[in-house]
Amino acid sequence: MDIVLSGIRPTGQLHLGNYFGALRNFVRMQYDAKCYFFIADYHAMTTHTDPAHLHDHVKTILSEYLAAGINPDIATIYVQSDVPQVAELSLLLSMHAYVGELERTASFKDKVRKNPNNVNAGLLTYPVLMAADILLHRATHVPVGKDQEQHLELTRVFARRFNNMYGVDFFPESQPYNFGADLVKIPGLDGTGKMGKSENNGIFLADSDEVIRKKVMRAVTDTGPTEPNSPLSDGVANIFTIMEAVSSPDTIAYFREKYATCEIRYGDLKKQLAEDIIKVVAPIRERIEAIRNDESYLRRVVRDGAEKARESTDRTVSEVRRIMGIRPF
């Protein structure tokens, strides 16, 4: 059976892009494979060191995952720092990770360029910690976006190198998990390419109905089609793309027809989109609120999650110690 691992950094709230691009697929996936989901608080510290907010962000993401349908009785969901074995495996793997290959990763170079005053060692060794996350469970598959493919490639390099150096067949070569046709990209409502935390254009799973309506009504459009079947401007195309995710086929067909015949009123289009987004988000938001306030439930989920995670991580770390020559007296 496939062993799948996915992590998310607790650096803010989840938005519609995270939901349709990742979370919704995870919810389905948990019934088909042995799934580990973790909240990557160590990773967050490479860019976000704010002790006043870290715990809160972890709690937010945890509540959002559970509210969206991750089932802690089926999948394993845990907080990275609750399983400090990952730090030991990261240290051991770092002995065979070359500085040159770490410096060459696109994400590291990007961070150096954007933040030349905070080029910390954690940023450089980010791919080693990520490899440790994955190899701790000997995960066979990792759902990754385009920006993470290079890191996963490095994980395979480290796994192969370890196996070769010690003459073992211990670590698997973890492959990207492909959602295929199910993988959708949610654009922003500001006429730009992608909805994202860094883009600051998110509709969040925790947004109230009113906030969602406001955000949608502000969406960028144009002055309207003047000829039948004219091409869509970026802003209007984005509205239709989000509709594909949240609205019924009838609704989409109705507005496409109105556009094609130049009778469309963008105000009506946006009102409909807002209501259809609310239909998806409102029940999730209500569950987020209920779960977030249930301290004892959250405590139990993370405790059980850490315990389940440690079953495989303890085994991996003691095996790696033995292979590398760390033996008990």
Contact residues for ligand ATP (CB under 6 A)? 8, 11, 17-18, 20-22, 145, 185-186, 194-198
**Residue 185 counted as an annotated binding residue:** no
Q: Is 3 helix (H, G, I), strand (E, B) or coil?
A: strand
Show the CA angle centred on residue 140, arms to residues 102 and 88, nearest 5°: 50
**Residue 145 counted as an annotated binding residue:** yes
Closest to ligand ATP by CB, 201 vs 312, is 201
What's the min distance (Å) between Cβ of 47 and ligand ATP? 9
**Residue 17 counted as an annotated binding residue:** yes
Cα gap 301→240, rounded to integer Å: 38
Catalytic residue among 34, 59, 109, 111: 111
Buried b (16+ CB within 10 A) or exposed e, 291-300: bbeeeeebee
What's the min distance (Å) between Cβ of 262 and ligand ATP? 30
Closest to ligand ATP by CB, 155 vs 316, is 155
**Residue 186 counted as an annotated binding residue:** yes
Catalytic residue among 59, 109, 185, 197: 197
**Residue 188 counted as an annotated binding residue:** no
Closest to ligand ATP by CB, 53 vs 197, is 197
Closest to ligand ATP by CB, 136 vs 189, is 189
Amino acid (one-letter) located at 50: D
Cα gap 14→203, rounded to integer Å: 8
Report whether 216 contacts 189 (CB < 8 A). yes
Q: Is 13 exposed, middle or buried (0-12, 13-18, 19+ CB in 10 A)?
A: middle
**Residue 7 counted as an annotated binding residue:** no
Catalytic residue among 34, 185, 194, 258: 194
What's the min distance (Å) between Cβ of 20 and ligand ATP? 6
Closest to ligand ATP by CB, 264 vs 276, is 276
111 in catalytic set: yes
Cα gap 142→152, rounded to integer Å: 8
Show the CA angle centred on residue 130, arms to residues 129 and 131, nearest 5°: 90
Show the CA angle centred on residue 29, arms to residues 24 and 32, nearest 5°: 155
**Residue 224 counted as an annotated binding residue:** no
What's the min distance (Å) between Cβ of 196 and ligand ATP? 4
What's the min distance (Å) between Cβ of 144 and ligand ATP? 7
What's the min distance (Å) between Cβ of 16 and ligand ATP? 8
Other C-beta atoms closer than 10 Å to the C-beta of 301 total: 22
Other C-beta atoms closer than 10 Å to the C-beta of 317 total: 20
Number of H helices, E strands in the chain: 15, 5
Closest to ligand ATP by CB, 109 vs 300, is 109
258 in catalytic set: no
**Residue 196 counted as an annotated binding residue:** yes
Residue 269, by phi and psi: left (phi above 0), alpha (psi -120 to 50) or beta? alpha
What is the number of the residue whose Cβ is closest to ligand ATP? 21
308 in catalytic set: no
Cα gap 47→139, rounded to integer Å: 26
Report whether 6 contacts 39 (CB < 8 A). no
- Known binding-site residues for ATP equal 9-11, 17-18, 145-147, 186, 194-198
Annotated binding site: 9-11, 17-18, 133, 145-147, 186, 194-198
* Binding-site residue positions for L-tryptophan: 133
The catalytic site residues sit at 111, 194, 197
